[in-house]
Structure 1
Amino acid sequence: MRQNLPRVPKERIAVLIGAKGATRRQLEQQAGCKRLVIDSDSGDISVEWPKTGEFDPVKALKLPDVIKAIGRGMSPEKAMQLLQDDWFFEIVDLRNFVGKRQNQLRRVRSRLIGSKGRIRRMIESLTGCEISIYNSTVVIVGDELGLAFARQSVEMIASGSEHGTVLSMLEKGRKRQRIEMRSLDAIETVEETPSGEVSFAELVPGLDRVAAARKLKAAQVNTDDEEEVEEVMWLSDDEEIAWEEE
């Protein structure tokens, strides 16, 4: 099966092919295709796939985005992460924010990159995404949650927001994610006991409730703070466990 892929700018063709075709071969191997055909003159690209059932259809759907990302300035190594099931692709057109004026596009690109690339690296670090800024576009690849935060950050900066405001938003978002993850970790899955057997929790009424509350509290403790650690080791005034013999 033959599939046409997005055209790549001529200045990016060499990057896509790689030294002695190394990048093209790597892409063919990771995508599971038979052959990647690149026209060095026009930038046209097509791919030949094996017979149906002999390749991953999800990778066939994602390969066009990989080519787009490489064509828009992203390194092939970073772009190929898109072949993972849980990684996705976003592209932001800066002209939608500042028009086609080159001086304005340069200004926005500079703000997104920051001094020595600092702002871009911080956004990547806080969202877990990869970002490429090329001409009038910004390419973002990452998982679903990180992608949403990264896109919001790019759009806020392109709209004129201060760097501090954007980074603060990302920090709060990351803290909120940590709390949600800790809360999920604190939820205990109650397994059904075999018929005729009595669980320990049934012998000690209230144990499940207290244990869940203390586990959630412990998950929110800063382990580097000795006072917090010591405090969580003691029962609170309102904590009481009652039990009785059968």
Structure 2
Amino acid sequence: MTMQELKVASDRIGVIIGKGGATRKAIEEKAEVAITIDSNEGLVTIEGEDALGVLRATEVIRALGRGFSPERAFRLFEDEDILLDIIDLSNVADTPQKMNRIRGRIIGRDGKARGQIENMTQTYISIYGKTVGIIGLPEPVQTARKGIEMLVEGSDHANVFAFLDRRKKEAKEDLISYYY
């Protein structure tokens, strides 16, 4: 029996449970695990015979806890190569004002910057609290992370998008040379 415990923000417990327990039940079925939720403490316990199932369920719950919708978090079940990466912004923003500015740079006006990064890297991005979560395949996640880090460090959006565009073209060329 494998067991994992993780702490989740109380405002995300409802998302993990889902309407009538639907999200929790779906996680339990897909990963073949049992989930216990202590909503007072924000503690989620995942138990199962299959260590990989427990690990996958843990990642999905971490994603839900970091602001992803169940639809996006469940991408982690679809392909074993898909991963969740979490960037902690608390070390770069020591005041609430700085944190808001950094989050605003990543999100962009009306969510345009975040949307563009998602489109250019084929990833999902969630900005929640003091973290940025990224779901996708390893290389695109790495590229999205680098783009986000550039924004955090103060790079112009135009430079970040030019970098992402170069990476996208390089990835396409790598794919073509791999097959030919």
- If the length of structure 2 is used for normalisation, what is the TM-score? 0.93
Alignment partner of 1:155 out of 134, 145, 149: 149
Give 1:97 deviation, angstroms: 2.1
Alignment partner of 2:124 out of 130, 153, 161: 130
Structure having greater relative contact order (Cα 8 Å, sep ≥ 6): 2
Identity %: 36
Given that 1:3 and 1:47 are in contact with CA atoms closer than 8 Å, whether structure 2 keeps it comes out as yes
Partner residue in 1 for 2:46: 47
Partner residue in 2 for 1:242: none
2: CA distance, partners of 1:5 / 1:124? 30
- If the length of structure 1 is used for normalisation, what is the TM-score? 0.69
Partner residue in 1 for 2:102: 108
Give the number of aligned pairs.
Answer: 179
Given that 1:73 and 1:133 are in contact with CA atoms closer than 8 Å, whether structure 2 keeps it comes out as yes
Between Structure 1 and Structure 2, the one with more helix by share is 2
1: CA distance, partners of 2:105 / 2:52? 35
Partner SS state of residue 139, structure 1: strand
1: CA distance, partners of 2:87 / 2:47? 30
Please show how residues 94-105 of structure 1 align to structure 2 within 5 Å: 94-98=89-93, 100-105=94-99
Unaligned runs of 5+ in 2: none
Partner residue in 1 for 2:36: 37
Between Structure 1 and Structure 2, the one with more strand by share is 2
Partner SS state of residue 117, structure 2: helix
Alignment root-mean-square deviation, CA:
1.4
Deviations 1:108-152 (A, max 9, x none): 111100111111011011111111001111011111110110110
> Which of these two proteins has the greater Rg computed from alpha carbons?
1
Q: Are positions 1:144 and 2:144 aligned together? A: no
Q: Segments of 4+ in structure 1 off by > 6 A?
A: none
Give 1:37 deviation, angstroms: 0.9
2: CA distance, partners of 1:120 / 1:62? 25
Partner SS state of residue 95, structure 1: coil
Given that 2:83 and 2:137 are in contact with CA atoms closer than 8 Å, whether structure 1 keeps it comes out as yes
Given that 1:90 and 1:140 are in contact with CA atoms closer than 8 Å, whether structure 2 keeps it comes out as yes
Give 1:176 deviation, angstroms: 1.0
Partner residue in 1 for 2:82: 87
1: CA distance, partners of 2:53 / 2:151? 32
| One-letter amino acid of the counterpart of residue 168, structure 1 | A
2: CA distance, partners of 1:170 / 1:176? 10
